[in-house]
């Protein structure tokens, strides 16, 4: 049986795979499971529900709220807020459950449901499996006065913006920043938080209409940000995705600064302050080899995990680490957050710039990126990627060709119907050639 939950909740085409009925049933089942496990024992349970700007979030929110309230859970509606904001308020408001409706960086027609446990942490795999197993199972639901109440929390944006700005020591005065809000959940709170910390902010793509989220903007499309930074004479630019749990940047010249480079800047800053636990940063196997080499050269350890911010977070919890992230821009700072937070990471990179007086290009120059090519192969059966012997042989051949001068990584996406082929090599030409050949094999062997 195919699991509903992926690496980042339940995600799919809104009103296709992800229907109102499924959203309602998942919410009822989540309340049922948590009640059975004693999470709600001794008090009236409370859940907070937030969403990004997708128009489908409106009917999915209604379905989730109906499911939770019918299961006896009081609901606080947070409205439009980044995923890490919902996680923060789940903890700050002492809620028993948090729910975020978003498909993150996916295109507008998709949406998703992410459940958060008390404190704002992602649910354990065991609980997600139990929710799936008990989906639509009969149980004694509350009636009368025991059904849930629904109300709106009206300080959502102000509370989260104040939390973000309050994590910064000193002022960001004198720094001019362009912020690409991806027409998403950060459109209001992002500029407010950066301004509260003292920065001058020029927002772009901050007029969401429910249809334009991630549409040629945000962390997956940096052209507009690069242009705006140069035109505005800004010190740097940051682009979040639709739910603002990831961030990428550009320096004053418009050159892209990716998640590995941002992670390197933050790692050295935290170590200097004595706040980098065990002098180690957690990254994934997708991190550029140049990042690993740079960190080791600076005496910072690198612990690598499978791809996915949940695996980074698991390793951070297990080892007591305070900083981790992905090349894609998911950056987790556990001194201030329970999940990846693009706005938080941007603020702390800016804090480093302000404290050192150094431009972002100089700070990011601590690492030299090895040429890397990433090809997303669509229209294939990703479930067969790990079992095809001919594909495995092609990967082995590519690895033998590169030897110690590069590496190959082939993996099915955890959130999208595609297979990712990543190649690092001494030159861009070699990386592109090897990646192209492997992508062709994937297309042929895993064709639908």
Relative to beta strand 150-152, strand 121-122 is unpaired
Residues annotated as catalytic (active site), given as ranges: 104
304 closest CA partner among 335, 280, 330 = 280
**414 exposed, middle or buried (CB, 10 Å; 0-12, 13-18, 19+)?**
middle
Q: Is 104 annotated as a binding residue?
A: yes
Torsion of CA 241, 351, 324, 309, to 10 degrees: -20
381 annotated to a ligand binding site:
no
Specify whether the CB–CB gap between 46 and 95 falls below 8 A: yes
Joined tokens for residue 137:
């199972």
Cβ 53 vs Cβ 184: under 8 Å: yes
Measuring CA to CA, how many Å separate 244 from each of 103, 107, 178, 188, 331? 11, 14, 15, 12, 11
DSSP character for 168?
S
Helix/strand/coil percentages in the chain, nearest 5: 40, 20, 35
Measured in Å, how far apart are the chain's first and last C-alpha atoms?
Answer: 19
State the SS3 of 75-113: EEEEEECCHHHHHHHHHHCCCCEEEEECCCCCCCCEEEE
Using CA atoms, how far residue 291 sits from 219, 262, 264, 426, 443, in Å, is: 20, 10, 7, 15, 30
Six token digits for residue 155 = 């300080």
Going from the C-alpha of 29 to that of each of 16, 154, 215, the distances in angstroms are 20, 28, 34
The answer to whether the CB of 273 falls within 8 A of the CB of 355 is: no
25 belongs to an annotated ligand binding site: no
Which of 380, 407, 387, 385 has the alpha carbon at shortest distance from 396? 407
Alpha helices in 325-386 (DSSP H): 342-356, 360-364
User: What DSSP designation does 278 have?
Assistant: G
Contact 349, 266 (CB under 8 A): yes
How far apart CA 322 and CA 424 sit, in angstroms, is 28
Contact 438, 398 (CB under 8 A): yes
180: annotated binding-site residue? no
Instruction: Mark the binding-site residues for Mg(2+), compressed into ranges.
Output: 104, 241, 243, 245
Instruction: Mark the binding-site residues, compressed into ranges.
Output: 104, 241, 243, 245
């Amino acid at each position: 049986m195919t699991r509903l939950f992926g690496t980042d909740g339940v995600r799919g085409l809104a009103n296709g795979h992800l229907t109102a009925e499924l959203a309602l049933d998942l919410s009822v089942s989540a309340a049922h499971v948590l009640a059975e496990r004693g999470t709600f024992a001794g008090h009236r349970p409370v859940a907070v529900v937030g969403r990004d700007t997708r128009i489908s979030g409106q009917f999915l929110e209604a379905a989730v709220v109906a499911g939770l309230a019918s299961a006896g859970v009081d609901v606080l509606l947070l409205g439009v807020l980044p995923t890490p904001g919902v996680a923060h308020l789940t903890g700050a408001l002492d809620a028993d459950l948090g729910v975020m409706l978003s498909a993150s960086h996916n295109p507008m027609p998709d949406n998703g449901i992410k459940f958060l446990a008390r404190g704002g942490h992602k649910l354990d795999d065991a609980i997600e499996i139990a929710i799936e197993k008990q989906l639509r199972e009969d149980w004694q639901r509350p009636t009368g006065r025991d059904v849930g109440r629904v109300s709106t929390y009206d300080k959502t944006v102000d509370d989260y913006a104040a939390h973000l700005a309050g994590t910064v020591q000193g002022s960001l005065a004198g720094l001019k920043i362009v912020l690409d809000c991806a027409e998403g959940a950060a459109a209001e709170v992002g500029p407010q938080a950066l301004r509260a910390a003292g920065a001058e902010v020029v927002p772009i793509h901050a007029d969401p209409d429910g249809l334009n989220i991630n549409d040629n903007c945000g962390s997956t499309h940096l052209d507009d940000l690069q242009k705006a930074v140069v035109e505005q004479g800004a010190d740097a630019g940051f682009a979040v995705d639709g739910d603002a749990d990831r961030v990428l940047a550009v320096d004053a010249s418009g050159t892209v600064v990716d998640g590995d480079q941002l992670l390197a800047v933050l790692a050295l800053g935290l170590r200097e302050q004595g706040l980098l636990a065990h002098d180690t940063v957690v990254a994934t196997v997708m991190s550029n080899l140049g990042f690993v080499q740079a960190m080791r050269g600076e005496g910072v350890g690198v612990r690598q995990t499978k791809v996915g911010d949940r695996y980074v977070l698991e390793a951070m919890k297990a080892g007591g680490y305070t900083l981790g992230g992905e090349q894609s821009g998911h950056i987790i700072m556990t001194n201030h957050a329970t999940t990846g937070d693009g706005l938080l990471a941007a603020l702390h990179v800016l804090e480093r710039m302000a404290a050192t007086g150094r431009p972002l290009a100089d700070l990011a120059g601590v690492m030299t990126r090895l040429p890397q090519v990433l090809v997303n192969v669509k229209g294939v059966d990703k479930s067969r990627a790990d079992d095809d012997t001919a594909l495995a042989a092609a990967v082995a051949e590519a690895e033998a060709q590169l030897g110690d001068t590069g590496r190959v990584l082939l993996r099915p996406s955890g959130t999208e119907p595609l297979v990712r082929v990543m190649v690092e090599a001494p030159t861009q030409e070699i990386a592109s050639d090897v990646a192209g050949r492997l992508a062709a094999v994937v297309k042929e062997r895993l064709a639908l």
